[in-house]
Amino acid sequence: MSNKYALKPDELKKEFEQKKPRLLKGEFAGKDWWDLPVEFRDGNWCFPAKPEVLDELHFANPRKWAATDKDWQLPAGWEKTIRDGMKDRLKRFRSFKVFMDSCVRCGACADKCHFFLGTGDPKNMPVLRAELVRSVYRNDFTGLAKILKDFSGSRTLTQDVIKEWHMYFHQCTECRRCSVFCPMGIDTAEITMMVRELLNLIGVNNNWILAPVANCNRTGNHLGIEPHTFEQNIMSMVDDIEDLTGVRVNPTFNRKGAEILFITPSGDVFGDPGVYTMMGYLLLFHHIGLDYTISTYASEGGNFGMFTSNEMMKKINAKMYHEAKRLGVKWILGGECGHMWRVVHQYMNTMNGPADFLKEPVSPITGTKFTNAKATKMVHIAEFTADLIKHGKLKLDPKRNDHLRTTFHDSCNVARGMGMFEEPRYVLNKVCNVFHEMPENTIREQTFCCGSGSGLNAEEFMDTRMRGGFPRASAVAHVREKHKVDSLVTICAIDRASLPALMRYWNPGVTVYGLHELVGNALIMDGEKKRTEDLRENPMAGFEEDDDDE
Amino acid sequence: MKKVLKPLIAVIVLALIPWVGITYGKLDYLFAIVIPYAAAAILVLGMLFRLVDWIRRPVPFNIPTTCGQEQSLDWIKTNPLECPSNPFMAAMRVLSEVFLFRSLFRNTRAELYGGPKLVYGSYKWLWLGGLAFHWSMLIIVIRHARFFLDTLPLPIELLETADRFLDVTVPAFYITDAIALAAITFLVLRRLSDEKMRILSLSTDYFPLFLFGAIAVIGISMRYVTKVNVMPVKALAITLAHFGFDAPEPIGVLFYIHLFLVCVLLAYIPFSKLVHMGGIFLSPTRNLPNNSRAKRHKNPWNPDIKFRTYAEYEDEFREKMKKAGLPVEKQ
């Protein structure tokens, strides 16, 4: 794989060869971090939001610009805007204030960040990423530090600082891996969220985040799919499913009185390989006769507002409860996604609840009460399916996935912003026969990001993405060599969109799957025809056309 | 290395202040009574201010970092400490951070090999060094109670006895003295020997280490080498403990350097990274239970946001929806 936004894999491998065993790239003896230049070049910055996108969102400072410009055309008085914005956020978020005050720079986080491991840039060590802001905080918001500027590492806010913030807070995917290791519990994701809010106040932004936000606001989903196309897309999957299995599933749209509203990231409806995961959901719901509906209005599980500001996150998320109320469903079932689940789990009920108009979620098939979701009233599909399998409600043939040798990638947000580790593993082990874990320091709460999360999945950002994804790819390479693993299973739509590129770059031959795609492969549907191919129309091992004793 | 020399010089200068003051200025009263009270007042009021200042800021969202399996289906084993589902276990989680440095115990070191390949080795030295430093400092501070109290409470006496069970010097050697010095040395060398640490460390990271080091070295030399006369020291400590203002009897200048550096440290705590001793209790990623789907967390400033309603959406797409056979509210 090659494009102008990334080095060829061999060139990047050479860079690593040359610097090993060092992690840092470059020489820093006698240098202070604040003297290191910020260099924008092809592949390490995302295109800024188009003026019309900003106009649509009523966001500040619409203009044409690029990160490589010398003058970023910041609005008059931008320093005051940032300073006031910081003051306001320090007041509203205890997290921000405590994280500014209590870092001891012990360095435990330094080599925990995938972007640091992949770029070797010292300012990608989480502690320094935070120091980029702390240095300004100390200067503007604390007394003594201002006097002893060098001693305390404080500095004045300038346009160069803004450039630095833009670069490094868009080289953080809000994955929270550093916060697992921090003895103070400092969470760089929280700091990144604050800084991105601040940058948006002066029009320093990312089109790959704000265009989906504008789309989501208008059409209900990030990809900007209008209702008729949304429905058509799913119906074409229904046709594909019929061709493959002989079974016609029957999803409904915007149907009032359904028991359950199903919401999943729009990537599952429109993107390859997400669509195969969607086909898995459709097969599963048909298999158990679920009374559910899909909304074309609340047609997005994901929430790029989270990467913009807490207000935007709330605005986009509000559609879920609004639609659930209008349709009169009992509760909401959510598909596989990473940051969507951080929003649903940690933010939704606070922002847009209480959801008194919904009922405590109960599985209509097993009668299981999902007490852990009794207030938010939204259940994760992996919880739902694990419960179905545990109660023996699914007819499964795991041999149908024998053509796949799997490993499981924990999505950052589901891992560290929700704590769901066992359910997807339980489901995976029931629907396939070959599963191997990646090394323990790269899974579960220590999982590595795909390198493209939090709205950084842009094509023009390829170099940084491939570097940031290197720790994940390295762990996959390990199980590929040791156990011949060829299938990377995820429960995140961004992963499904970004990991294929990462695998092509680092581990050609490894394919990315959604968990429920494998569920769909394994389900024995009533009235199905003889299955020979999986949902991607790849032949299944041991199910060949003329093989009589399957 | 300006970043290292500056704080080193700063500590030396600070140590010279009482030496000049006592030797030439006869300012015993200032250094024995006035400065200690002032430093204690700054510490107490400063920390109170910091804590109140933190606590009055709201926690709008429930954002624990989950480091283990959450509570979900009955048959799935949960990790109540790393992913607490109630406030009690969240408190346990915080205490495990405070007393055992639990998150630091996870520490690993990434190494880059050919291939390229990343390997993560267990790296508990930082945890061990940090724990040794903090615990020995705590025990040393508690041990100092013997100066301030007329009769020593039994727990402190037991602690002190345990600390000197290696009865190898006269007066008996305290193990924590050695541990503290070793740990401080380790923590300084760690910052100097690793290139990542050299870049990320500030002068304000070295300064408290040098300050602690100087205090410990002077304290140890008073006990084992110069053998300072303890009686006037104890008298002064008792005076301070009773909020008295009696002038002290003559004590060696070494003691005044020790005391002054301690005062500098106390006064420095509220205005520096040393406030982390309070911050750790208030970290929202650690002190909140992961129960946000079961129990609604309230945001006191939850903003009123106008979102695009279904009605507005249908108004824009009604004809297309009708054509596609999607149900609509208005015809």
Q: Tens digit of pLDDT for each residue in A313-346? A: 999 999 999 999 999 999 999 999 999 999 999 9
Q: Per the structure block, which two tokens stand in for A474?
A: 């390295």
Average pLDDT of the residues of chain A: 95
In A75-226, alpha helices (H): 78-92, 94-101, 114-119, 126-141, 144-147, 149-152, 159-168, 177-181, 188-201, 207-219
For residues A473-483, average pLDDT: 98
Q: Per the CB < 8 Å rule, is B57 touching A101?
A: no
The CATH topology of domain B2-300 is Fumarate Reductase Cytochrome B subunit (1.20.950)
Instruction: List all residues of chain B from 77 to 96 with a beta carbon under 8 Å from chain A.
Output: 77, 79, 82-83, 85
Q: Which of B293, B302, B304, B313 to mutate to test the interface with A (most CBs of A within 10 A)?
A: B293
Judge whether B322 is closer than 8 Å to chain A, CB to CB.
Answer: no
Chain B (95-124) residues lying within 8 Å, Cβ to Cβ, of chain A: 97, 101, 103-104, 106-118, 120
Which residues of chain A does B205 touch, with a Cβ-Cβ cutoff of 8 Å?
Answer: 104-105
User: Could you tell me if B57 and B50 are in contact, meaning their C-beta atoms sit under 8 angstroms apart?
Assistant: no
What is the distance between the alpha carbons of residues B38 and B260, in angstroms, rounded to a whole number? 11
- Kindly tell me if the per-residue pLDDT of B168 is higher than 80: no
Half-sphere exposure of B313 (CA within 13 A, CB side): 28
Q: CB within 8 A of A390, min separation 6: which ones? A: A366, A426, B73, B75
CB interface of B with A, residues 181-210, below 8 Å: 191, 194-205, 207
Predicted pLDDT at A145: 59
Q: What pLDDT is stored for residue B171 in this prediction?
A: 79
Q: Is the pLDDT of residue A57 over 50?
A: yes
Q: Does A149 touch chain B (CB under 8 A)?
A: no
Tell me the ipTM for this assembly: 0.95
Binned at pLDDT 50, 70 and 90, residue A546 comes out as: low
Lowest mean pLDDT among A61-70, A182-191, A536-545: A536-545
Are B32 and B248 spatial neighbours (Cβ–Cβ below 8 Å)? yes
Alpha-carbon span B73 to B70, nearest angstrom: 9
For B328, the closest chain A residue by CA position comes to A254
Q: Structure tokens of A285?
A: 């719901």
Mean pLDDT on B149-158: 89
Q: Is the pLDDT of residue A217 over 80?
A: yes
Residue A148: the pLDDT is 75
**B253-292 tens-digit pLDDT:** 999 999 999 999 999 999 999 999 888 899 999 999 999 9
- Mutate which of A11, A106, A250, A413 to test chain B, going by most B C-beta atoms within 10 A? A106
* Angstrom distances, CA of residue A273 to CA of A27, A70, A215, A488, B296: 42, 40, 21, 12, 35
Chain A hits for B307, Cβ within 8 Å: 217, 314-316, 318-319, 322
SS3 category, A46: coil
All CATH 1.20.950.20 domain ranges in chain B, comma separated: 2-300
Asked if A390 has any chain B CB less than 8 Å from its own CB, the reply is yes
In this structure, are residues A228 and B326 in contact, taking their beta carbons and an 8 Å threshold? yes
To 10 degrees, the CA torsion angle through A422, A423, A424, A427? 120
Q: What is the mean pLDDT of residues B173-199?
A: 95
Give A367's contacts (C-beta < 8 A, 6+ positions apart): none
Strands B117-122 and B108-113: antiparallel
**Residue B220, Cα to own-chain centre: how many angstroms?**
23
The answer to whether B254 and B218 are in contact (CB under 8 A) is: yes
Q: How confident is the model at residue A153 (pLDDT cuts 50, 70, 90)?
A: confident
Work out the average pLDDT over A293-306: 97
Q: Which residues contact A69 (CB under 8 A, 6 or more apart)?
A: none
Q: A267 and A493 in contact (C-beta within 8 Å)? A: yes
Q: What is the average pLDDT across A19-25?
A: 93
pLDDT tens, residue by residue, A444-458: 999 999 999 999 999
**Chain B: residue nearest A13 by CA?**
B116
- What is the Cα–Cα distance from A122 to A281, expressed in whole angstroms? 43
Of chain A, the percentage scoring pLDDT greater than 90 comes to 94
Return d(Cα A110, Cα B199) in angstroms, integer.
11
Give me the pLDDT at residue A500, please: 97
- Give the global pTM: 0.95
Q: Which of A29, A183, A253 sits opposite B101 (nearest CB)?
A: A183
Tokens of A530: 């003889």
Tokens at residue B184, please? 């401080």
pLDDT of residue B279: 87
Residue A549 has pLDDT above 70, yes or no: no
Chain B interface includes A372 (CB < 8 A):
yes
Pair A30, A40: CB distance under 8 Å:
no
Percent of chain A scored above 70 by pLDDT?
98
Cα–Cα distance measured from residue B39 to residue B47, given in angstroms and rounded to the nearest whole number: 12
Partners of A481 in the beta sheet?
A: none
Backbone angles phi, psi at B122, to 5 degrees: -65, 135
Residue owning tokens 């989501």: A216
Using one digit for the tens of pLDDT, what is the confidence trace for A246-284? Answer: 999 999 999 999 999 999 999 999 989 999 999 999 999
> With bands split at pLDDT 50, 70 and 90, how would you rate the model's confidence at A146?
low
To the nearest whole Å, the CA of B128 is away from the closest chain A CA by: 13
pLDDT at A547: 52
- pLDDT band with cut points at 50, 70 and 90 for residue A550: very low
Q: Is B301 on the interface with A (CB under 8 A)?
A: yes
Q: Which residue among A98, A442, A446 sits closest to B279, beta carbon to beta carbon?
A: A98
